Chain A
Amino acid sequence: MRVFVIIFFCFWHSLGARGQQSYAVSDISSELKVRAGAVVRNEELTIEVKSFNQVDYRYKRAVTILNSSADAEAKIAVWYNKTRNIKSIKATIYNEFGLPVGKISAKDFRDESAASNYSLFEDARVKRFNPAMITYPFTLEYEYEIRSRQSLLFPEWSAIQGEGVSLELSRFTFLCGADFGIRFKELNYPGKVVVNTDAKGQKSYVWEVKNVKALKAEPYSQDPSLVMPSVKVAPVKFTFQDVSGSFTDWKEYGLWMNEALLKGKDNLPEETLATVSALVTELKDPREKARKIYEFIQQKTRYVSVQIGIGGYEPIPAAEVDRLGYGDCKALVNYAKALLAGAGIRSYYTLVEAGDYKTDAIPDFASMNQFNHAILCIPFEKDTAWVDCTSKTLPFDYLGDFTDDRLVLVCSEDGGKLLRTPKMRTEENLQVRKGSFVLSAEGELKGKMTTTFAGWQYDNREALIGEPLKEQVKMLREIYPLNNLEIRSFDLQQNKGNSPNATESLEFHARDYALINGGRYTLSLNVINRGRGLREVVNRQKPVYISRGYIDSDELVYSLPAGYRLESRPSDQRLKTDFGEFSAEISLTDNTLVYKRRLRLNEGVYPAETYAKLVDFYQRVYESDRTNLILIRNK
Chain B
Amino acid sequence: MRIVDLATADQDFIAEVEARSHQNLRTCYQCGNCTAGCPYTFVYDHSVSQVMRLIQLGQREVVLQCKSIWLCASCQSCTTRCPNRIDVAKVMDVCRHMAREQGYATEREVKLFTDAFLRSVERHGRAFELGLMADYVLHSGRVFTDVDLAPKALARRKLAFRPHAIVGRDQIERIFQRFRKGGAHV
Indicate whether A and B interact: no
